[in-house]
Amino acid sequence: MNININEKDRSFKIDTDNTSYIIGIADEEAFIGHVYYGSKVEDEPLYLMRTGEPPFVPSRNNRDRGSFMDTFPCEYPGNGLGDYREGAIEIVDDGGYSAVGLTYDGYEINDGKPRLTGLPATFENESSKAKTLIIYASDKVTGLKAELMYSIFEGSDAIVRSVKIVNSSDKDIFLTKVMSASLDMDSEDFELLTLHGSWARERQIDQRPIGYGKTSVGSVKGESSHQEHPFMALVEKGVSQEIGRVYGFSFVYSGNFLAQAEKSQFDSVRVMMGINPGNFKWQLRPGESFQAPEVVMVYSDEGLGKMSRTYHDLYREHLIRSPYKDRERPILINNWEATYFDFNTDKLLAIAREAKKSGIEMLVMDDGWFGGRKDDNSSLGDWNVNEEKLPGGLKYLVDEVNKIGLKFGIWMEPEMISPDSDLYRAHPDWAIQIPGREGTRSRNQFVLDLSRPEVVEHTWNSIKNVLSSANIEYLKWDMNRQITDIGSFGLNKENMGELSHRFVLAVYELQERLIKEFPNLLLENCSGGGARFDPGMLYFGPQIWCSDDTDAIERLGIQEGTALVYPLSSMGAHVSDCPNHTVGRVTPFETRGHVALAGTFGYELDITKILEEDRAMIPEQTAMYHKYNKLVRSGDYYRVASYRENGYYDCYGVVSKDKSEALYTFVQVKGRPNYHSRLIRLSGLDPDKKYRSDESTEVFYGRTLMKAGILIPGLWGDYRSKLIHLCEV
């Protein structure tokens, strides 16, 4: 990796192992232009290819300044000065004007990577150092300054971008839009790949042409959301797992976002990603700064697979901080789908005793243990134990579970408040709300106003008191509704547009305090399933509940979309009961285990009531987890076949970094008549190594298994699965 400055040509070149990113400074007015991003190129003055030269610049041809501005490939475009494409920054200054344009002032190239105040961010480590370019820019009229930051890491093809805005004037400036990254490129007939969904069907892959105008995904829900996801990629037509150019953009943030591609009249494409400007207005007083979250860009000229593996490695090594990152997570059983709200100490202990016999290592008590909670209509915010359900309290229960030989975990929803709660009766103004409007309830609950320091402090003390009261080793942090009625009794009218971002910053503050106070706690984030499955959350906890839909077949699509960006080790995945509680499907217990193996692995069922033949299979599955988890957790992910595409079967694999071991999961979703076997061409092996499967004495070169394939014997019926484990010989 390297970052070079060509002083004579005023250009910057950022090189990763396989990619180059070039920025050029154009004209006497020092416009900051984007030159090139793609496969690695040699050190040449490429800036003239895109950023313009005399006489086609304003200093030589000011009569056509507007034409220049509307075609110039700007690295961080402003607003209202002739570029009619959407800008990356918008303001309202002291005079009420919205125009802003940033030009070049200088640069720094530093070893390492600065922390982003209050925000999750990638970081360097001892085995992989970072290097950072900061380009300084300013608007000479308003006094607004910007720091455009670009960081790279040894051994990674990712480029991480963020922006810091500083008010160097003597008057207030309001930011109404601050994107974290913008990129101008020639169109080249790209298609846009995004992840869409809904509750119980998150992160479904969608690919479509980029037409003229704007194509975007985003959220104004106060979270990254079930429906759309803070990721997008520009892909070459016909892209596959192994072939084609891909430009990926992933946003390290857990709140409102916008990801947009705009195709202009001149067949250029402007890509933007950042905080959604909807309901956003941030006051910058003189001397104050605003730090935008970061965007992780990945370019691949070897298809989607290489992009995915780049993201996986970066997030495993440079984003996740938990001590669990590089070790097995305990196999847990969660009582939610087993009991819902109908449980007591005796019931939980009965589940724990049976779970211990089968090799399960932790019991997690889900919703319903606190206040007067009998259903989802009350008590959020009242984080005191309901001793009618749990006589002797939380410590007695946890001690008894520990005596059985299991660890103990607990569910909380710290950001919420029920109208029927002691907390709401004492502090009705602590809910996010607009005076005079009927509050919008969802799941009969409101959202706490975490923009207020006193609410944050109360929430922290509630969490701390629960976790300090017993030997609790795991926390499932949930958020079961989105934010509406954007209003706060703690903010004045000038600052009301700051509420959504301040809320996210407060969540980050709470989780930072949590992992510092309880450094050995395993934190799993959740939001009604997968509505806050984003890089920001992975900075605090190593895993996120992937979806409330635990049906093995539905999970194939959900986990495929998730694994496009995120490592398998981050995906909360469980074996659940059948008929499945979300879709009513019945699938073999073995298949449920195989699909859940591509994740953290656990159980979501009443082990005391399931079929004996299923219960007898659990010790085999827990042994399977221990056998393969290191490989699943740390290996390279390869998508071999997609049920989403072919309609019949799914296949994916994990290959160790040294190519000595591989595990492939094959799921036959639909059986076919008169169809006895299937040939699968594997991916990711070393062509020159020899491999043998656990079920055979035959030895094959990796080249043979990838080119000629391996035969999957006929599996009788729908929803059948098979693991193929290969080791080097």
Active-site positions read 478, 548
Helix or strand (DSSP H, E) at 686: none
**CA–CA separation, 375 vs 367, rounded Å?**
9
| CA–CA–CA angle 106, 111, 114 (5° rounding) | 80
Sole residue written with tokens 């090139």: 36
**Chain centre distance of CA 552:** 22
Residue 96, amino acid: G
**Of 517, 589, 522, residue with least CA distance to 550:** 589
- DSSP-derived secondary structure for 544-590: EE--S---HHHHHHHHHHHHTTS-GGGEE--EE-SS-TTT-----HH
Closest CA to 596 of 550, 538, 654: 550
- How many residues are present in the chain? 729
- Rounded Cα distance between 88 and 179, Å, is 5
Which residue, 67, 248, 272, 293, is CA-closest to 183? 272
CA atoms within 13 A on the CB side of 267: 5
In degrees, rounded to 5, the angle at the alpha carbon of residue 501 between the alpha carbons of residues 500 and 505 is 120
Identify the CA nearest to 553 among candidates 599, 529, 585, 528. 585
End-to-end Cα spacing for the chain: 35
Task: Kindly list the distances between the CA atom of residue 16 and the CA atoms of 45, 93, 513, 519, in Å, as whole numbers in the listed order.
Answer: 18, 39, 34, 34
Gap between the Cα atoms of 530 and 479, Å rounded: 10
d(CA 463, CA 445): 19
Residue type (1 letter), 100: V
Please choose, from the candidates 205, 182, 208, the residue with its C-alpha nearest in 3D space to the C-alpha of residue 268. Answer: 182
Pairing of strands 446-447, 474-477: unpaired
Beta strand 257-263 with 602-604 is unpaired
Helix (H) or strand (E) segment spanning residue 353:
helix 345-357
> How many Å is the maximal CA-CA distance in the chain?
84
Picking from 161, 109, 136, the residue whose alpha carbon sits closest to that of residue 2 is 109
Tell me, what DSSP letter sits at residue 212? B
Backbone angles phi, psi at 568, to 5 degrees: -60, -30
- How many Å apart are CA 604 and CA 550, to the nearest integer? 8
Find out whether 278 and 486 touch, Cβ atoms under 8 Å: no
